[in-house]
Amino acid sequence: MTTLYDNIGLAYDITRKADPEITRRSRNHLQVSNGSQILDIACGTGNYTVALENTGLLMTGSDISKEMIKKARGKSKTINWGVADVNKLPYESNTFEGVTCTLAIHHFDDLLTPFQEVFRVLDKGRFVIFTSSPEQMNNYWLKEYFPKAIEVSANQMPNVVEVSDKLKRAGFNIIGHETFLIQPNLEDFFLYSGKYEPKMYLDEKVRSGISTFANLASNEEVEEGCSKLKEDIETKRIEEVLNKYSSDLGDYVYVIAEKK
Ligand SMILES: C[S@@+](CC[C@H](N)C(=O)[O-])C[C@H]1O[C@@H](n2cnc3c(N)ncnc32)[C@H](O)[C@@H]1O
């Protein structure tokens, strides 16, 4: 089976890399000591898996896409990489001391089975999810230029209440939620990382590493949106648009759960 990311995988690492601040926060939320066994599910090309290994953790990374894992394998020989569906993780029960999932839960058909699998393979420890909510997404200024794609994308995002509910049903306790604000120097070019760099979205290479553009937007909408965006950047109308969409909901969110 070819997955969406088997295609995206070819260009993913041109614009996507681990952002140091996201890595630092994920590491902190895991609350583990150096040498702990951590699983990164839906790890893609392993950017965050490798970055977390560099903080002193013993990492395992798995993803459903063969292409993504092929790229990941070239980045670290000490990480235990595997091609696996989150619905059926190929690990023994009670193996890991922490699990991370970065920018991926919206791709899962259902959350309960993956969360039950994470609960099973965790011994004791935290499950750290980094995602965005539909409410946050509906306040992205990108909506001004790519309304249909952002709407479809927001509809695809599970809301935080649903995520927490499914985590509890899978057996987890909820530790908390932490909102994340995009900073101008963010190094991983995912959907809203260009919040303060609107011209970034005019670059086809950037768009091709973001599933909303690569998969959910029509060519027509992208062309029209980019030409309007280019004009607004030139006339500085973009400042008005940015203000119009300013919100206090935060841009992304960490959901942190625990198996006791
Ligand atoms: C946006 S990428 C994020 C990759 C990585 N976590 C990162 O932040 O760089 C989403 C990943 O989820 C993976 N994915 C989607 N559905 C999956 C599933 N059912 N099981 C495992 N991985 C899945 C995709 O193959 C893709 O690599």
Residue 3: predicted pLDDT: 73
CA of 227 to the centre of ligand 1 (A): 30
> 139: which 2 tokens?
């306040």
Q: Which segments of the chain have a pLDDT < 50?
A: none
Domain 4-259 has CATH 3.40.140.10: no
Residue 14: predicted pLDDT: 87
Q: Where are the domains of the chain?
A: 4-259
Residue 4: predicted pLDDT: 77
Write the pLDDT tens digit of every residue in 44-67. 999 999 999 999 999 999 999 999
Q: Tell me the C-alpha distance between 85 and 259, whole Å.
A: 21
CA of 236 to the centre of ligand 1 (A): 36
Residue 12: predicted pLDDT: 84
| 160 Cβ inside 6 Å of ligand 1 | no
* E strands present in the chain: 37-41, 58-63, 80-83, 96-102, 122-131, 173-180, 252-259
Q: Tell me the C-alpha distance between 260 and 239, whole Å.
A: 47
Hey, how many other C-beta atoms are within 10 angstroms of the C-beta on 8?
21
| 47 Cβ inside 6 Å of ligand 1 | yes
- Ligand 1 probe mutation, 64, 130, 190, most atoms within 8 A of CB: 64
